[in-house]
Structure 1
Amino acid sequence: MAGIFQNMHRSLTLHGLRRLFQPVDSQRACSSASPRLLYVAASCLPYHISGYTARTQEVLMALRAAGADVLALTRPGYPWDRADKLCEATATHTLVQDVEYTHTPRPSNRRFLLHFAAAGARVIEQYAKANNITRIHAASNHTNALPALIAARRLGLPFQYEMRGLWELTRASRQPEFENSYNYNFGLEMECLVATQADRVFVISEQLGQFVQERWGIESSKIHLLPNCVDVERIKPNTACAVQPNTIGYAGSLINYEGLDTLIDAIRLLGQRGGAVRLHIIGDGEARPALEAQVCALGLQSHVHFLGKVTPDESRAHLGQCSLVCIPRKPFTVCKVVPPIKLVEAMALGKAVIVPDLPVFRDEASTKAVFFAPGDAEDLAQAISGVLQDSNRLNKLACAGLAHVQARRQWKHFVKSLMS
């Protein structure tokens, strides 16, 4: 019986969405003498602090710095419909540095996807008309992108999708039973639908681009790379005298696939061998209680410090004081195709990095990082020890990473393609 209802839900949703993709007129409803981009994001600072919101902020700041005329709109209903928001929303506009985000209280995301997409599209369509938008750009995931896509089609405007990852793969890494469930397959089908309908698809990594080409047959001609980058004018290395010796830093979400349990085990092994290494863990998440319990059980309270959730600037300040940065992700599918923004930020801070031997890390870091076997605490301990005991190697890795970011991973080199 469940299968019958699931098939009905899938068929009705797909049929309804495809009807909504039909343009209202053959002529564009919005016109402007100069291009104006509407950037639609699923979440933003300060309501959520994550790699997603940090990337959104960085992209928008880089677009403005490049002279682009861009307006930022969060997903309809956000942040009011998110129970996990860090602060209450008191207005329909939020200014973060020089980026202004506009919010619309309705519709709430707590409804069927088809109903939300239809109602959300009307909100975005009205906003685009009122502000003479000429192009609509939406970031992951499909729930955020579908209303924007429908609005663009109704207005006859170009639509581009920024695929930062696949939420279904992320959830499967945390809940193995979710993989190949109805919601897993339905979510990926919605991602395929958005990517297929988009005029251009911007992917966060070459591996993700290959994934969507091979799995969904997306034409390579409309796939473009928009990798994690930095603004080197704002993110700069600390002076050597400010660095605390034998310290390892991690900043990000505390969830299972990040592999922090492996890193803590490596700290235990180093301690058993006489290595006085300290680990600073910046961030929060569902795995924190288990990680803190692991630290207590191993008697590592004086070696492992949990600093909690802080602002992006505070996080960079903490990492700047560490000898190196470790990103110990596990070998889940999502970790093989989606790179964390914390990798290029660590390089921009002039930090040597230790990362798992997974495709996205090999592609990004190559000879500019130390690699270890994913999930292997012994191999990770040896990698940490080898770098911390060799100051010349530590400095060479730091310099190589910084040079790579300066030459190939600056936002200003990529964001102009969003307007071209």
Structure 2
Amino acid sequence: MTARTRRGSDHPFAAPLLLIATHASGRTAEALATAAAAGPASSRRTSARLARLALALEAPEVAARLLDSHPPIASDARDLALRGQLALALGEYTAARTYLLQAGRLERRMRWSGMVTKVEAELALLDPAWGPRLPASSSRALPTPARPAPGRILHLLTNSLPYRPSGYGVRAQHVALCQRDVGLDPEMVTRAGFPGNEGTTGVGVSDTIDGVTYHRLSPGLEPGLTIERVAQSTAAGLLDLVAQRRPVLLQPTTNYVNAQIALAVGEAAALPVVYEVRGFLEQTWISQMGEGAESSERYTAVRAIETACMRRATGIVTLSETMRADIVERGGIDPERVAVIPNGVDVDRFVPGRRDEALAARLGIAATDTVVGYISSFVRYEGIGCLIEAAARLRQRGRNVVLLLVGDGAARSELEAIAARTGLDRDGGVIFTGRVPHVEVERYYRTIDIFVVPRTNDRVSRLVTPLKPFEAMAMAKALVVSAVPALLEIVREDETGRSFPAEDPAALADAIEALVDDPAARRRMGEAARAWVSDHRTWAHNGQRYLELYQRLGVV
């Protein structure tokens, strides 16, 4: 018998191994593009292997192109399960449930059963009629006679400091502090299971941060529960807490899960609810998936349930005028009930100062280098790839610039690949620090000369203003931002900063170069930026804004 030898390109493992190797070398985007191009001509088995790898690399659109060339096999449990996983990643929950149920009937596997349970829980909470099961009588929530504690507000959060250091937690802490400064009595409440669900164990049912009380609902709740089980446990815990703490108001913070819980408990306990909308998570998801995902079941359902929660709330707080306009345009929401209480900054903590020479030396930054930097999570809509390309152009023009990128995230390997492709990673042109402790972030700001916020032109970037620009402005840094509405709200052109067309590295390079060549303009803009945030964007200002909203709504 004569042995047959397969050509390398036809071997069922050749394409998957090439994808893995290319990804491992930091060229994930190239790997996925190659897989997508090769997929339609591949065998069913090879396409399935490539699709699984694409899903693992969080590229469901590539997995979809690979599987589209091969129809489903109704008798193949693994094929059906793979398509169920793909549908889930694409936000098509009903299709995901159908595929996974079919796979489970053919071949019983705990993993597929667990995925079905997860999908059904997600679908349940996206139903406007969903609500947690609360006692038929709310008598245990508010004893009779119930005398609310004056000015006491319970804020419901998904997570918080110190266990999750993020802008979400930083704002929550400052909301509590600024409310306390105007005579209110805020207390923070985190969802059931936090922080145990993030690997932190041994946490009690409450702790205190700078005098602010944080109630931890079931902090040791079993990890891995469905979102519906977590929501149910949170609602029960919040109802008990209402009985104990006797607030005058409930204030859930993004997302709709927190809002649904607070609205149900508020109805049971006859308490008003102010929903703090800090972002539009359906838009954040679109920024990761692409505009075509707007037709998905997930996008449509999340936007609908968020809108329903906004309509039911007594009042709404949001972060910018662009966000307020989006909320009002949804319809059925009185503009008078929507208050803009923007992100702010502690100008007593974030103060200008000389470059941290010890840190600069450790990072390999020379005294003659102009440091261009950004501090953020590394996700696609931050536009950091555009900033890397702009910095590479400046180095090619002979400018002594060093790009300092502080943070980490899912896009890091792709960003490192861009730095390698453009040559910026040679001779210290770019520094990736990884995450740094929040208490040290000022040292990194002081090391930066020009702070760039290069957000993309995605809808989420056009609507939501990030926290970091305010910190940079308080540190008197020259600011360059992409020209999206949410960022143009905070920059006065050539006065407190400069803007450039989003996703245009050539224009960004020109904007940065002008400031590299003009240190006096950097100083002038930095001083004006600090003056502006001191007058308009301090956390201290926000306390009065909250108080005025509550008084207007008649809840305090």
TM over 0.5, shorter chain: yes
CA offset at residue 412 of structure 1? 1.6
State the AA in 1 paired with 2:325. Q
Does structure 1 residue 64 correspond to structure 2 residue 190? no
Task: Check the 8 A contact 1:17/1:114 in 2, yes or no.
Answer: no
Cα distance change, pair 200–94 in 1 and its aligned pair in 2 (3 A)? same
Distance in 2 of aligned mates of 1:385 and 1:21? 64
Distance in 2 of aligned mates of 1:199 and 1:372? 39
**Correspondence for 1:261:** 385
Unaligned 5+ segments in structure 2 are 1-92, 99-118, 361-366, 551-556
Distance in 1 of aligned mates of 2:441 and 2:385? 20
Alignment of 1:10-89 (within 5 A): 13-17=127-131, 24=138, 30-32=146-148, 34-82=150-198, 87-88=200-201
User: What is the aligned-residue identity percentage?
Assistant: 28
Distance in 2 of aligned mates of 1:391 and 1:222? 45
Alignment of 1:291-330 (within 5 A): 291-301=415-425, 302-330=428-456
CA offset at residue 64 of structure 1? 3.0
CA offset at residue 240 of structure 1? 6.9
State the AA in 2 paired with 1:257. Y
Q: Give CA deviations for 1:158-213 in whole Å, capped at 9, x if unaligned.
A: 11111000111111101225432111111111211211111110011111110011
Aligned alpha-carbon RMSD (Å): 2.9
Distance in 1 of aligned mates of 2:405 and 2:207? 29
Cα distance change, pair 251–11 in 1 and its aligned pair in 2 (3 A)? closer
Q: Which moved more, 1:146-155 or 1:375-384?
A: 146-155
Report which of the two structures shows the higher radius of gyration computed on alpha carbons. 2
Distance in 1 of aligned mates of 2:333 and 2:287? 25
Does structure 1 residue 192 correspond to structure 2 residue 311? no
Distance in 2 of aligned mates of 1:57 and 1:12? 29
Distance in 2 of aligned mates of 1:314 and 1:290? 26
Distance in 1 of aligned mates of 2:484 and 2:507? 14
Q: Give CA deviations for 1:279-315 in whole Å, capped at 9, x if unaligned.
A: 1111110001111222233332311101111122312
**Correspondence for 1:287:** 411
Task: Check the 8 A contact 1:232/1:410 in 2, yes or no.
Answer: yes
State the AA in 2 paired with 1:231. D
State the AA in 2 paired with 1:267. A
Cα distance change, pair 212–260 in 1 and its aligned pair in 2 (3 A)? same
State the AA in 2 paired with 1:136. L
Task: Check the 8 A contact 1:250/1:282 in 2, yes or no.
Answer: yes
**Correspondence for 1:158:** 272
Q: Give CA deviations for 1:238-292 in whole Å, capped at 9, x if unaligned.
A: 1479696510121110011101110000111001110110111111100011112
Task: Check the 8 A contact 1:63/1:415 in 2, yes or no.
Answer: yes
Distance in 2 of aligned mates of 1:59 and 1:312? 18
For these two proteins, the number of residue pairs brought into alignment is: 416
**Correspondence for 2:468:** 342
- Runs (4 or more) in structure 1 with deviation over 4 Å come to 3-12, 18-25, 27-30, 106-116, 240-245
Provide the secondary structure at the position in 1 that maps to 2:468. helix
Does structure 1 residue 207 correspond to structure 2 residue 335? no
State the AA in 1 paired with 2:265. A
CA offset at residue 2 of structure 1? 3.7
Distance in 2 of aligned mates of 1:169 and 1:21? 35
**Correspondence for 1:414:** 542
Distance in 1 of aligned mates of 2:376 and 2:126? 39
Task: Check the 8 A contact 1:76/1:108 in 2, yes or no.
Answer: no
TM-score with structure 1 setting the length: 0.90
CA offset at residue 77 of structure 1? 2.1
Distance in 2 of aligned mates of 1:38 and 1:270? 50
CA offset at residue 80 of structure 1? 2.3
Task: Check the 8 A contact 1:31/1:133 in 2, yes or no.
Answer: no
**Correspondence for 2:238:** 124
Distance in 1 of aligned mates of 2:394 and 2:240? 59
Distance in 1 of aligned mates of 2:418 and 2:378? 13
Task: Check the 8 A contact 2:175/2:542 in 1, yes or no.
Answer: no
Alignment of 1:373-392 (within 5 A): 373-392=501-520
**Correspondence for 1:143:** 257
Task: Check the 8 A contact 2:125/2:257 in 1, yes or no.
Answer: no
TM-score with structure 2 setting the length: 0.69
Select the residue among 357, 362, 368 that pairs with 2:483: 357
Task: Check the 8 A contact 2:132/2:235 in 1, yes or no.
Answer: no
Q: Which moved more, 1:148-157 or 1:15-24?
A: 15-24
Distance in 1 of aligned mates of 2:136 and 2:482? 45
Unaligned 5+ segments in structure 1 are none
**Correspondence for 1:277:** 401
Distance in 2 of aligned mates of 1:208 and 1:155? 30
Q: Which moved more, 1:201-210 or 1:8-17?
A: 8-17
Cα distance change, pair 23–112 in 1 and its aligned pair in 2 (3 A)? farther
Provide the secondary structure at the position in 1 that maps to 2:492. helix
Task: Check the 8 A contact 1:108/1:116 in 2, yes or no.
Answer: no
Does structure 1 residue 252 correspond to structure 2 residue 376? yes
Distance in 2 of aligned mates of 1:290 and 1:63? 41
Task: Check the 8 A contact 1:23/1:155 in 2, yes or no.
Answer: no
Provide the secondary structure at the position in 1 that maps to 2:489. helix
Cα distance change, pair 39–227 in 1 and its aligned pair in 2 (3 A)? same
**Correspondence for 1:105:** 218
Distance in 2 of aligned mates of 1:40 and 1:411? 19
Cα distance change, pair 413–101 in 1 and its aligned pair in 2 (3 A)? same
State the AA in 1 paired with 2:423. G
CA offset at residue 21 of structure 1? 12
CA offset at residue 89 of structure 1? 5.2
